[in-house]
Amino acid sequence: MVYALWDTRTTNLIAAYDNERDALALVLSGIERNGPHDTDTLVLEVEDEQGELLSTTQGQALAELAKRGLQSAQLAG
């Protein structure tokens, strides 16, 4: 799987990871540095090994996913 973070305003790839946790950690880091609107122009695309797009999450939904995902990871480990 590939977890790619894109800036929709500039259409630039920000980062790509092979796991969701690292991608969501970057999202949360941006929120902590720049405030709650940091995700307004971000989209997380998830692709499988064949390059097929499986899902996209953006904006406020991405911020919520990052918060829930990393809280769950912290509780588990």
pLDDT at 76 over 80: no
Q: Are 57 and 44 contacting, i.e. CB atoms less than 8 angstroms apart?
A: yes
Q: Token pair 């996209």 is at which residue?
A: 56
List pLDDT tens digits, range 31-75: 999 998 999 999 999 999 999 999 999 999 999 999 887 666 555
Q: Where are the domains of the chain?
A: 2-76
Q: Token pair 């690292």 is at which residue?
A: 22
Looking at residue 69, what is its pLDDT? Answer: 76
Which long-range CB contacts under 8 A does 14-19 form with residues at least 24 apart? 14/42
Q: Are 14 and 7 contacting, i.e. CB atoms less than 8 angstroms apart?
A: yes
- Average pLDDT in the 17-23 region? 95
